[in-house]
Structure 1
Amino acid sequence: MSAQILTLDGERQTLSDETVEEIRAIFRGQVLTSDDLGYDDIRVVQNAMLDRRPGLIIRCTGTADVVDAVSLAYKRDLLVAVRGGGHSIAGTCTADDSLMIDLSMMRGVWVDPDQRRVRVAGGATWGDVDRETQLYGLAVPGGVVSTTGVAGLTLGGGIGWLHRKYGLACDALRAAEVVTASGKIIRCDGTEHEDLFWALRGGSGNFGVVVSFEFEAYPLGPMVWNSMIVHPVDAVTEVLSRWQDWTSTVPDEVTSRALLWSLPDAPTLPPAVHNRDVLITAALYAGTPDEGQRACRALSGFGAPLADMSQARSYRTAQSSLDPFFPKGGLQSYWKSVYLDRLDEDATTFVARISHDRPHPTTMVHLPLLGGAMSRVGTTETAFGDRSARYLLSIDGNWLDPAEDDANIRWVRNAYGEAVRLRAASGTYLNFGGDADLDDADRARAWGRNVERLRRVKRTYDPENRFRLNPNIPPAES
Structure 2
Amino acid sequence: MFEQLKDQLSGRLLVPGEEAYNERRKVWNTAYDKYPAAIVVCQSAADVAAAVQFAKKANLEVTIRGGGHHVAGTAVSDGALMIDCSDMRKVTVDLERRIAIVEPGATLGDVDAETQKFGLATPTGTVTETGIAGLALCGGTGYLRGKYGLTSDNIRSARMVTADGEEIQVSEREHPDLYWAIRGGGGNFGVVTSFEFNLYPLGPEVLSVDVMYDYKDAKQVLRNAQAFLRKAPDEVSFNMMTFQMPAAPGVPESLHHRRVIVIAGLYAGDKADGHDAVQPLRELAQPISDNTGVVRYTELQSRFDLAAPKNVAVAGTSLFIKEFNEEAIDALLALLEQPPRSSLLVQFWECHGQMNRVPSDATAFAVRDASFLLCFDVDYPMEEEKPCKDWIDSAYKTMLPYSTRQASYLNTVQADPQIIRDTYGDNYKKLAAIKQKYDPTNFFRHNHNIQPQG
Q: 1:354 — aligned with what?
A: 335
AA paired with 2:396? Y
- CA deviations on 1:352-388 (whole Å, 9 max, x unpaired) are 2233322122211111100100111111110111311
Comparing 106-115 with 203-212, greater Cα deviation is found at: 106-115
User: What are the within-5 Å matches in structure 2 for residues 163-174 of structure 1?
Assistant: 163-174=145-156
User: What are the within-5 Å matches in structure 2 for residues 79-94 of structure 1?
Assistant: 79-94=61-76
> 2: distance between equivalents of 1:229 and 1:272?
17
> 2: distance between equivalents of 1:340 and 1:437?
19
SS at match of 1:367: strand
After superposition, the Cα gap between the structure-2 partners of 1:82 and 1:233, relative to the gap in structure 1 and judged at 3 Å, is same
> 2: distance between equivalents of 1:164 and 1:55?
43
**Contact 1:73–1:99 (CA under 8 A) maintained in structure 2:** yes
Unpaired runs of 5+ in structure 1?
1-18
> 2: distance between equivalents of 1:171 and 1:45?
27
**Contact 1:343–1:424 (CA under 8 A) maintained in structure 2:** no
Q: 2:434 — aligned with what?
A: 457
Residue 366 of structure 1 is aligned with which of 336, 341, 347?
347
Q: 1:57 — aligned with what?
A: 39
Residue 402 of structure 1 is aligned with which of 382, 386, 402?
382
> 2: distance between equivalents of 1:372 and 1:356?
33
Unpaired runs of 5+ in structure 2?
none
**Contact 1:260–1:355 (CA under 8 A) maintained in structure 2:** no
> 2: distance between equivalents of 1:459 and 1:423?
30
Q: 2:364 — aligned with what?
A: 383
> 2: distance between equivalents of 1:375 and 1:80?
34
> 1: distance between equivalents of 2:290 and 2:349?
19
Matched, 1:436 2:415: yes
User: What are the within-5 Å matches in structure 2 for residues 310-349 of structure 1?
Assistant: 310-328=292-310, 330-349=311-330
**Contact 2:5–2:50 (CA under 8 A) maintained in structure 1:** no
Residue 13 of structure 2 is aligned with which of 31, 54, 69?
31
AA paired with 1:355? L
- CA deviations on 1:28-87 (whole Å, 9 max, x unpaired) are 212111201122211121112111111111100111111111111111111100000111
SS at match of 1:386: coil
> 2: distance between equivalents of 1:270 and 1:219?
37
Alignment RMSD = 1.5
- CA deviations on 1:274-320 (whole Å, 9 max, x unpaired) are 43211112221112333222211222223222222222111111111
After superposition, the Cα gap between the structure-2 partners of 1:204 and 1:262, relative to the gap in structure 1 and judged at 3 Å, is same
> 2: distance between equivalents of 1:361 and 1:290?
39
Matched, 1:421 2:401: yes
> 1: distance between equivalents of 2:166 and 2:284?
56
- TM normalised by structure 1 equals 0.92
SS at match of 1:86: coil
> 2: distance between equivalents of 1:296 and 1:266?
30
Comparing 423-432 with 56-65, greater Cα deviation is found at: 423-432
Residue 214 of structure 2 is aligned with which of 219, 232, 236?
232
Q: 1:126 — aligned with what?
A: 108
- CA deviations on 1:75-105 (whole Å, 9 max, x unpaired) are 1111100000111111111111110000000
SS at match of 1:26: coil
Matched, 1:156 2:138: yes
Residue 95 of structure 1 is aligned with which of 59, 77, 101?
77
AA paired with 1:405? E
Matched, 1:279 2:258: no
- CA deviations on 1:3-39 (whole Å, 9 max, x unpaired) are xxxxxxxxxxxxxxxx334432221212111201122
> 2: distance between equivalents of 1:319 and 1:170?
18
> 2: distance between equivalents of 1:230 and 1:273?
11
- TM normalised by structure 2 equals 0.97
**Contact 2:162–2:191 (CA under 8 A) maintained in structure 1:** yes
AA paired with 2:453? A
SS at match of 1:472: coil
AA paired with 2:170? C
Aligned length: 454
- CA deviations on 1:384-425 (whole Å, 9 max, x unpaired) are 1131111111122x2231111111000000110111123766
User: What are the within-5 Å matches in structure 2 for residues 236-315 of structure 1?
Assistant: 236-267=218-249, 269-315=251-297
> 2: distance between equivalents of 1:346 and 1:204?
33
SS at match of 2:401: coil
> 1: distance between equivalents of 2:398 and 2:370?
18
> 2: distance between equivalents of 1:104 and 1:196?
23
After superposition, the Cα gap between the structure-2 partners of 1:423 and 1:107, relative to the gap in structure 1 and judged at 3 Å, is closer
Q: CA deviation at 1:442?
A: 2.3
Comparing 197-206 with 299-308, greater Cα deviation is found at: 299-308
Residue 181 of structure 1 is aligned with which of 159, 163, 187?
163
> 1: distance between equivalents of 2:335 and 2:30?
24
> 2: distance between equivalents of 1:268 and 1:191?
53
Percent of aligned pairs with the same amino acid: 38
- CA deviations on 1:324-364 (whole Å, 9 max, x unpaired) are 23133x22111111111111001111222233322122211
Q: 2:373 — aligned with what?
A: 392
Q: CA deviation at 1:269?
A: 4.7
> 2: distance between equivalents of 1:33 and 1:344?
53
Q: 1:13 — aligned with what?
A: none
Q: 2:89 — aligned with what?
A: 107
Q: CA deviation at 1:180?
A: 0.4
